[in-house]
Amino acid sequence: MDRELLEKVKRHEISFHEVDKILDVHASIELRRTAISQLTGTIFDHISNYSMDVEVVTKRNIENMIGAIQMPLGVAGPLRVNGEYAGGDFYLPLATTEGALVASADRGCSVILASGGANVRIFKDEMTRAPVFNTKDIIGAKNLVDWVNANFERLKEKAKGTTRFGELLSIDAYTAGRNVYLRFAYDTKDAMGMNMVTIATDAAVDLILSENDVELVALSGNMCSDKKPAAINAILGRGKTVSADVHIDKKIIQEKLKTTPEKMADVNYRKNILGSARAGSIGLNAHAANIAAAMFIACGQDPAHVVEASNAITTMELTADGLYCSVTLPSLNVGTVGGGTRIGTQQECLKMLGVAGAGEPPGANSKKLAEIIAAAVLAGEISLVGALAARHLAKAHATLGR
């Protein structure tokens, strides 16, 4: 190790990222890790152990790398999915540190399997980016909106020049005084697509600025709305809008969940619907974010998009012979190419589900993944509501997750 370089890094004479210009990737990682170890007095016995291809991840996934974090990975299933893109039995990779979560998901999967599988359908597939413009006054704001509406095809062509697969579908305008927010919506095929739509929208903005007397304030004006709780995503959707449902026989509920359809319907109404409404929650569900987060981390998705996945609405209705259960996720942002999906461990999890890489036709794999995750969230909702109805939640956590 270059001791002189190490001391310069520790004295902040050379920044962490500048080390990459001096040493190869492996030596850079080791030097930064040693510097942090000495600066903080921490012995790193674990973060230095990993199998990922650092040549790849340091170019596309991480800066100033010093190692890798490990998370336990469990499996639940089989989960039977009756979707348009996902059909059959799937084993779910779930990365989590919460004891009892995988066991709960596994129980929900067994209920769905015994009930013939979960039906899943995707209703909308659009990724958004919404720049904000400043105009002279509301007359200028109206002129900008009118110009965008009249020139949509030109803007679409401009955006198309930046991507092989992305396609601009629509632009919706929202105003606040002289501020104009243009919500661009794209089909991004198998990519989750945030980078794709950002670059495409930036190109379209150049055309807007060249022909309008307006100022771009920011390429993202939060009407997208990315990685934040937002009613617009719950109402209009973002990423995949997907629903899953299943009819559960009364006997299955009694045998597997140790409760009754009546109690589960009551818990869902008073907890997920009334309780969430009283709390002012956007999502009306038991713990959709739990399953989404575990699947996201395992499959290389952006964990910050779990906040949008948590917009889910869970319904449970009594039927003549049991219980009808559904979950709708208006804004599920997932992809099977790009981002963290390239990392070796995440690639293996995607391969478990048969969705690694680009689909045929383009977009098929990301839709398949979305259907599987929606069914997995449904399994989690059924299991937790069942546990609450049977008063088993505290017992399960005392046994598995203390």
**CA angle 271–101–120, rounded 5-degree value:** 70
Q: Hey, how many other C-beta atoms are within 10 angstroms of the C-beta on 395?
A: 12
Give me the helices (H) in 270-311, please: 276-279, 288-298, 306-309
Q: pLDDT for 29-74, tens place per residue?
A: 999 999 999 999 999 999 999 999 999 999 999 999 999 999 999 9
> Mean of the per-residue pLDDT values for the chain?
96
Judged by phi (left if over 0) then psi (alpha if -120 to 50, else beta), residue 12 lies in left
397 is catalytic: yes
Every domain of the chain with CATH number 3.30.70.420 lies at: 131-218
List Cβ neighbours of 132 (8 Å cut-off, separation of 6 or more).
179, 180, 181, 216, 217, 218, 220, 221, 222, 223
Q: Which residue has the tokens 């509501």?
A: 385
Instruction: Say which of 187, 249, 266, 397 is annotated catalytic.
Output: 397
Report in angstroms the alpha-carbon separations of 91 from 44, 205, 400: 34, 44, 21
CATH class of 131-218: alpha beta
Return the beta strands (E) in 237-382 as ranges: 239-249, 313-319, 322-332
Minimal CA–CA distance to 168: which of 214, 202, 141, 123? 202
Measure CA 148 to chain center: 30
336 touches 359 (CB < 8 A): yes
Catalytic residue among 157, 202, 302, 348: 302
Q: Which CATH number fits domain 75-125+230-400: 3.40.190.10, 3.90.79.10, 3.90.770.10, 3.20.20.70?
A: 3.90.770.10
Contact indicator for 111, 76 with CB cutoff of 8 Å: no
Instruction: Note the pLDDT tens digit of each residue in 376-393.
Output: 999 999 999 999 999 876
Spell 55-68 as b/e; 16+ CB within 10 A means b.
eebbeebeeebbbb
Q: Average pLDDT for residues 76-97, to the nearest whole number?
A: 98
DSSP letter (8 states) at residue 257: I
> Among 98, 167, 187, 266, which one carries the catalytic annotation?
98
pTM of the model: 0.95
State the angle between helix axes of 3-10 and 25-40 in degrees (0 to 180), rounded to the nearest 10: 50
User: Is the pLDDT assigned to residue 127 strictly greater than 90?
Assistant: yes
Structure tokens at 280: 């002012």
The structure tokens 């319907």 sit at 265
**Residue 98 annotated as catalytic:** yes
Question: Of all residues in the chain, what percent carry a pLDDT higher than 90?
Answer: 96
Q: How many CA atoms lie within 13 A of 81 on its CB side?
A: 30
* 3 state SS of 91: strand
pLDDT at 1: 79
- Give residue 222's pLDDT: 97
pLDDT of the residue at 268: 98
CATH 3.90.770.10 placement within the chain? 75-125+230-400
84 is catalytic: no
Q: Are 259 and 253 in contact (CB under 8 A)?
A: yes
